[in-house]
Structure 1
Amino acid sequence: MTLGDYYSNEQIKQFAETVLGETDENRTESIEKVRKWIQKNPKLHAKTDDNSILAFLRGCKFNLEITQQKITNFYTMKTERPEWFQDRDPTLPTIKELANIGVFIPLKKYHDNKLVVIIRTAAHDPKKHKQDDVFKAGKMILDVAIKENFENATIYGISAIFDMKNISLGHARQLPPHVIKKAVFAWQNYYCRPKQLEFVNAPLYINVVLNIFKSFMSEKLQGRVRVHFSGVDSLHEVISKDILPVEYGGNDGSTQELIEYWSQKLDDHKDWFKEDEEYKADLSD
């Protein structure tokens, strides 16, 4: 394999080696070790192509034991959460509607090379939309965004902006502790690393909700949470205006342009979602 097969430039290669411990030698060796382990555990029914394995390895800094545990957790979750991972058809009216109102919006440009996503926690109507469907649509868009930005998403990770504007009691009622626990488990066992969790337009009672979230987080993830009260001005101190849409005080287009782009990308990946749905753990005895 050449440099271009895994990295677009030398700087990214150096970062991967220094921070993740990824070298040409241990990447090839580790992918093969994990592939053989998956083949010895056929009931996991996990993907064995290089990129699918590499994403988990990078997220675990090439620790094979942690990688195997995260792969097990991920493919088990796909079976145990049919409400998120079954019937992932982008043409379904519910999915289309949630994508079109912008519940989950990846940005065009990177922050410190990280993929940035805006999660609009109150964009949906809680009287009309189930929280599980919101999570389902968001994970579908995330999967496509990682595919489209594989290098940056898997090497540098994800910066997530949680927009809490217009959050209501109805939205809060959709997130009882057991649902929050499932959501945090998914964050911590997905094949990309959440590096920043920025909560903007936060209400004054945010700490009540966040304390529940944090109770299920690892200590490391807790340290990546930051709250921004009174709008988005303080967000600009940690994420440049140059990559944000105008609705967030930035100058890189509008959220509507991004919504239309990712809605089309979902449609383009209809066949991929159908194939991906087959990969999940067999939990039968």
Structure 2
Amino acid sequence: MSNAAEVYLSTLDDQTLRYVIDTLNESDENREKCLEEIRAWLRGDAAWLNARTETKHILPFLRGCKFNIEKTKTKMTNYYTMRRDRPEWFTNRNPLLPVLQELIRLGIFVPLKHHHENQSVVLVRTAAHDPKKHQWNDIFKAGMMILDVMCMENEKAQIYGVIAIFDMTGIGFAHYRTMTPSLMKNAVFSWQNYHVRPKKLEFVNSPTYINVALNIIKSFMTEKMRGRVKVHFGGVCKAQEVVNRDILPPEYGGEGESMAKLGEFWLDKLVQYKAWFADDERYKAE
């Protein structure tokens, strides 16, 4: 277990400070009290989770659960057991691996550099990969690596959550065939127990038959998460109905950086965290 105590240094603006107090129940006093309570639990009954105890790694879970201790314990337990049970996602997370570099450059999971109403925005190109060549497990691995870095570097992602825009362009039988119900179940479990909250799940350029697959995915979701799913037909520019046009890449009719530039940005970012990823593999339930 990692060394615990360090002082929390806020990077939040005044508006966000008010938001965490009013919406997440996060005051200076409550934050320190809850951090210590979770650390004591991780040192005691939950030592078997072998979890990180640094403030920056506990705080996102507390914020995602609005500082409800029992909900936080449940989510952290689910998260660290997932890290144990899904080695295909959480081991060998080396950003220099050619397959991961190729997937990141393809734009399979691309956070934008600017927020929409304080929420982080991620573009997920569900069919950018070649299903004969790439495996879904490598796609999930690359996406979660990016999500980890985004969460560490962007406190607002922890606080306001994430808008995920799933671009369904090019989706076909070959992609669906390898997306088994078990994989869908594991994906939904990760969305619901990760340390960044998905606030909206928006599907754009959707095929008419998308509801067949979505009904399977929704069957694994909580009622609250099912309410966050929305399907858009009629092209990728429908993303402009979800977030402001000026932050979207030109591929989506926007005025922001291109997908190629964003892919290179996140690949470079992950390479900077190469040593962190190698060390991070040891944090998982026994």
Structure-2-length-normalised TM-score: 0.95
CA distance in 1, matches of 2:70, 2:43: 16
Deviation sequence 1:57-116 (CA, Å, 0-9, x none): 000111100100110000000010000001111111111111121111010100111111
Deviates more, 1:231-240 or 1:59-68: 231-240
- In the alignment, structure 1 residue 88 sits paired with structure 2 residue 93: yes
- In the alignment, structure 1 residue 267 sits paired with structure 2 residue 271: yes
Give 3-state SS (helix, strand or coil) of 1:280's partner: coil
How big is the shift at 1:238?
Answer: 2.6
How big is the shift at 1:268?
Answer: 0.6
User: What does residue 19 of structure 1 align with?
Assistant: 23
Give 3-state SS (helix, strand or coil) of 1:229's partner: coil
CA distance in 2, matches of 1:267, 1:235: 29
CA distance in 2, matches of 1:132, 1:32: 35
User: What does residue 118 of structure 2 align with?
Assistant: 113
> CA 1:87–1:194 in 2, change beyond 3 Å: closer, same or farther?
same
Match of 2:130 among 125, 128, 151: 125
Q: What 5-or-longer segments of structure 2 have no aligned partner?
A: 1-7
User: What does residue 72 of structure 1 align with?
Assistant: 77
- 1:1-285 alignment, distance < 5 Å: 5-40=9-44, 41-149=46-154, 151-282=155-286
Give 3-state SS (helix, strand or coil) of 1:242's partner: helix
Q: Number of paired residues?
A: 278
CA distance in 1, matches of 2:254, 2:31: 38
* Contact 1:7–1:13 (CA under 8 A) maintained in structure 2: no
RMSD of equivalent CA atoms:
1.1
Give the letter aligned to residue 268 of structure 1: Q
Give the letter aligned to residue 131 of structure 2: P
| Percent of aligned pairs with the same amino acid | 54
CA distance in 1, matches of 2:239, 2:97: 34
CA distance in 2, matches of 1:170, 1:281: 35
How big is the shift at 1:236?
Answer: 1.6
Give 3-state SS (helix, strand or coil) of 2:171's partner: coil
Structure-1-length-normalised TM-score: 0.95
Q: What 5-or-longer segments of structure 1 have no aligned partner?
A: none
